[in-house]
Chains A and B, each alone.
Chain A
Amino acid sequence: MMRASSLTARVFAHPETIRSVTLEDWDLLIRQSRRALLLAQLDALIHDHGLADTVPEPARKHLDSARALAEQNERIVHWETNRILRALRGVAGPVVLLKGAAYTMLGLPAARGRLFSDVDILVPKDRIDAAERSLMEHGWMSMHHDAYDQRYYRQWMHELPPMRHVRRRTVLDVHHNILPETASLHPDPARLLEAARPIDGTGLYAPEPADMVLHSATHLFHDGELEHGLRDLVDLDSLLRHFGREEQFWSRLVERAEQLDLMRPLYYALRYTHRFLDSVVPKDVRLCVRSAAPMTAAGALMDALFDRGLSPHHPSCDSRATGIARWALYVRSHMLRMPPHLLVPHLVRKSIRRRKGATAE
């Protein structure tokens, strides 16, 4: 049963309903989708379903503009991954693309109209220093110069501090795992790297399909901030619909979730893609992951939080409890990243710095 009520989520769940969207609602649909970074994906969805002639004239220009930006994004990803590969050839073993960059280079439906803020790659931990040096030689510089930030990333996180290319200004995240060292779940990155598959004709690698789904789920439900939660959920839905056409995929998904200690994120992914986007998950798979569900009371609370947190961060989707829900999810994501004895000093430091920043302005 679908609960989520943003217009954007409804249209992504059932694209043909766009036929009955009034001009007033188009206004809202565009605003919600833009805020959720889904405007160009909405355009792709409409085209893929042969619904382009249902778009009213005033709305069309916004979709056209969003599409132009998404096409540029796609070109940038092709070029950036080419440059990254060149910088890391012979240095870091196979370069495994993560998330959006992988979807784009694999030509998956999930990449159509998707916007990026950065490229994410995964390299073996014992090669990460060499990779960083080589990237620096090729023009990528660390974006955090503060000693505390550097230590925070290098000691506790699963990635280097983000790097930015000095000339192209593009941002690269170099990961050695998909969750922080300090997190409560412990997926083994060696297994992800082992199962990675070459992307035809590029020299690059992507995680195997089940791992891509699990990484997306882990990022959304155990790591990331939820500002673009609905977009991430649309990613998951698209991956599931695409890979789920093959029957073996589903058993492999459950098997990999067990091997990688990621059953809980998989449970959430299946629950909320269904709840928001009406994704279809085979019944036996749903029964399998149910063992990873939180207890009933906690589950009801998570529903209440995620129903709010995963909606577009747009005033039209906000209720009185939205602010509290987002705050609770923010705290939760940090608690999952770090144990309290590390987390509390970290958050105190962050909030002091934010206050200093605010008064300096």
Chain B
Amino acid sequence: MKVSDWSYRDLAGAMAGDGVFLHLGPFVTHLRCAIPLVAEGVHALYADYRCERQAAFADFRVRLGPPRGVRRWYRSQVLFYFDDWPPFKPLPYNQAFAMFEWGMNWCITSHSQQHLMLHGAVVEKNGWGAMLPGPPGSGKSTLCAALVNRGWRLLSDELTVVRTDDLLLQPLPRPVSLKNRSIEIIAEFAPEAKIGTPARDTDKGTVAHMKPPPGCVEQADQLATPAWLVLPKYIGSAPPVLTPLAKGDALMQAVDNAFNYSVLGVRGFDAAAQLIDGCDCYRFSYSSLDDAMRVFAELADGSQ
């Protein structure tokens, strides 16, 4: 059963009761939460994901709820619990859905240390994966959101997972996080995209999540072969320029953007080096998403 097969009432009721088992790619999350904002977010943005009342095994047991004490009512807050333990400080109540998303990122990264994980978006076309690593503010999420609205398959907007044994890219499609001006930019660029309720005044400014296209959720078990590493940079009114990047520089960029390079030791170095060896690597500066779409279309055509 998919989330879209549930009525909002049933979903919110089940989430507030015994919880639901939400299938997110390779992971099953047991989610309990009586906060309408979260139920609405899940109902709208996870519509294409499998969701059941029962499952034999859950990878993550997640609950969101108010903290004890006065902050339940006075300037109310929300806490994220992983298996009944709160890994983070509470956030304002209106950020509950964003907290669910951030908490899920934490669940996945904390418990996938056997893979090489890079901070960055990753999309796929014809089986080939394009990795867009970069720190917050580099415009990778915006670019990623635009690409997945123009026929690229979303593997992830935040987390590039490279399997260290076969160097394939593991998809983890989830709602795409958009910040501040990106929200309007994407709404304008892709009016058909479904964007959830923005959470204002978070640490990252205003944050809203875009529903991932249904195809990428259905194909979450199809791995991609890494083909490109592109370091995007948004520069106001700049023409689109794709500059080849030396392998050594690309490797250092990959390492700098890795979550767990040091965890993996030699295995991490080998994986990163082979990954870069097998990819065409570029820096890419752009100001217009339409230009960027053209450049990526050319990249994809070149691989055929």
Residues in chain A within 8 A of chain B (CB atoms)? 22-24, 26-27, 31, 34-35, 56, 58-59, 61-62, 64-69, 71-72, 75, 314-315, 361
Contacts and interface: CB of A to CB of B under 8 A. Distances in A.
B114 A65 contact: yes
23 contacts: A22-B56, A23-B57, A24-B56, A26-B57, A27-B56, A27-B57, A27-B58, A31-B61, A35-B83, A56-B57, A58-B57, A59-B57, A61-B26, A61-B59, A61-B112, A62-B59, A65-B113, A65-B114, A67-B114, A68-B113, A69-B113, A72-B264, A314-B84
Nearest to A358: B69
A330 to B, nearest CB: 19
Nearest to A71: B265
Given A58-B57, A65-B114, A71-B265, 10 more contacts: A27-B58, A59-B57, A62-B59, A65-B112, A65-B113, A66-B113, A68-B114, A68-B264, A72-B263, A315-B84
Interface band, chain B: 20 to 34
Contacts of A23: 56-57
Interface in B97-113: 111-113
B114 A61 contact: yes
Question: What secondary structure prevails in chain A residues at the interface with B?
Answer: helix
A22 B56 CA distance: 9
A26 B83 CA distance: 15
A350 B235 CA distance: 53
Contact of B265 (A24, A75, A315): A75
Interface string B48-80: 000000001111010000000000000000000
A278 B57 CA distance: 29
A216 B56 CA distance: 38
B26 A68 contact: no
A361 B89 CA distance: 10
A69 B263 contact: yes
A56 B59 CA distance: 13
Nearest to B58: A27
Closest A-B pairs by Cβ, 3 of them: A64-B114, A68-B113, A23-B56
B117 to A, nearest CB: 11
Contacts of B111: 61-62, 65
Nearest to B164: A68
Interface of B: 26, 28, 56-59, 61, 83-85, 89, 111-114, 260, 262-265
B52 to A, nearest CB: 14
Nearest to A24: B56
A183 B277 CA distance: 60
A314 B61 CA distance: 13
B71 to A, nearest CB: 10
A68 B264 CA distance: 6
A61 B57 CA distance: 13
A21 B171 CA distance: 30
Contacts of A314: 83-84
B28 A58 contact: yes
B59 A31 contact: no
Contacts of A66: 113
Contacts of B262: 72
B84 A24 contact: no
B137 to A, nearest CB: 25
A37 to B, nearest CB: 13
A240 B135 CA distance: 49
Contacts of B114: 61, 64-65, 67-68
Contacts of A56: 57
Contacts of A24: 56-57
Nearest to A58: B57
Contacts of B265: 71-72, 75
Contacts of A62: 59, 111
Contacts of B28: 58
Nearest to B90: A361
Nearest to B69: A358
A58 B264 contact: no
A31 B113 contact: no
A361 B57 CA distance: 37
A35 B84 CA distance: 10
A31 B57 contact: no
A68 B89 CA distance: 27
